[in-house]
Amino acid sequence: MRVRGWVIGGRHARAAATLAALVAGAAPLATVQSPGPAAAGAASAGATVCQVRDDRLTEISGMVATDDGYVVVNDGADDEARLRIFFLDRRCAVTRTVSYPSRPRDTEDLALGRDGTIWVADTGDNDRNRETIALWRLAPGADRPVLYRMTYPDNPHDAEALLLDAAGQPLIVTKGGSGTVVLYAPATTLKPGATTPLASVGKVVLPASTTSNPFSFLGRGVVTGAANAPDGRRVVLRSYADAFEYDVAGGDVVAALTGGTPRVTPLPDEPQGESITYSRDGRSLLTVSESADQPAGSRPTILRYPAATATTAAAAPHQAESTTAAPPSPTAARPAAQTAGIGGGRTWPLAAGAGTLLALLAVAGVLWRRHTDRR
């Protein structure tokens, strides 16, 4: 999603409401998203894989890797030419596109099934006012995705991440904001032309982080993308700052996310990191950022980071040992326990509350000014 949509919205009234929400959210951020001690090993920038030069792809919000390249989607775009499922080769050149049979609202992430099925999460909701959200399913070789509508059991949520469970069914991860996100799964079988109820199946508390990113601590407490490893034994969530990788035992993705201890790979200073996926061999994490609000001439660039292994961190007793053949990351990956503080404490001293509030006001003020300058 566009940061201006997340932080300041599309209108002055929405900006004022969001500013108030940010100020009100200072306390949850202070109690949940506390930074821990410095990590062992400096965070390293990802290695460039390729650059996307197609002018239609400036707001890439979802990506999966395929055997012959990548598939990407834009964030909710106003331009009809950008509302496509884009297939890229290994050099990031567009080879074909697939149109939607009706207009999507806000496409945010992709997931790739074991059989090659592509799922598109049309789940973005900056204003949290959608009555339904949607998934688009593109079968292997098809040229027309099928629409499935869903509704939350409680209230609307902004969600930018999509995973699949062991049976290939979708799992939606909300964006959150204070370091805690909610998992939702279809309560019944998805059917075209019907609205399927969702059920809340768990919550995930992100490890604390100090990784540098354009949005400071605000960027560390949200989930902007997710991916399943090709072998199904790992899943990863990402924020604007870090990747959190969990081992999956017995195919139970929900148990891994809600009860596991993730390995953390910093993704430092990505311009606006929305997407993450695994390479096809599972050895690497691949990311890409939006470029719409970046300096002139900026292009979305796919970056590669070594995927962490279970030997990098002491696994929790209930976690399965990772079977990836990749060597431990020499730079970035670290156990979440190192970032959470001694004894697992996750609260800041009370004195930090004032600094948090001032930082919120400063960030919101800068973004407000940029927003008003655009009008």
3-state secondary structure of 352: helix
Nearest residue to 333 (alpha-carbon basis) of 247, 275, 219 = 247
Tokens standing for residue 102: 């009706």
Q: Return d(Cα 241, Cα 226) in angstroms, integer.
A: 13
Contact 64, 112 (CB under 8 A): yes
Contact 173, 181 (CB under 8 A): yes
**pLDDT at res. 43:** 79
Contact 72, 275 (CB under 8 A): yes
* Tens-level pLDDT at each residue, the chain (375 residues): 555 444 434 333 333 333 333 333 333 333 334 333 323 335 788 999 999 999 999 999 999 999 999 999 999 767 889 999 999 999 999 999 999 999 999 999 999 999 999 999 999 999 999 999 999 999 999 999 999 999 999 999 999 999 999 999 999 999 999 899 999 999 999 999 999 999 999 999 999 999 999 999 999 999 999 999 999 999 999 999 999 999 999 999 999 999 999 999 999 999 999 999 999 999 999 999 987 777 777 899 999 999 976 544 433 333 333 333 333 333 344 455 444 332 333 333 333 444 444 555 554 554 444 444 444
How confident is the model over 220-264, as pLDDT tens digits? 999 999 999 999 999 999 999 999 999 999 999 999 999 999 999
- Distance between first and last Cα of the chain: 19
- The DSSP secondary-structure symbol of 320 reads P
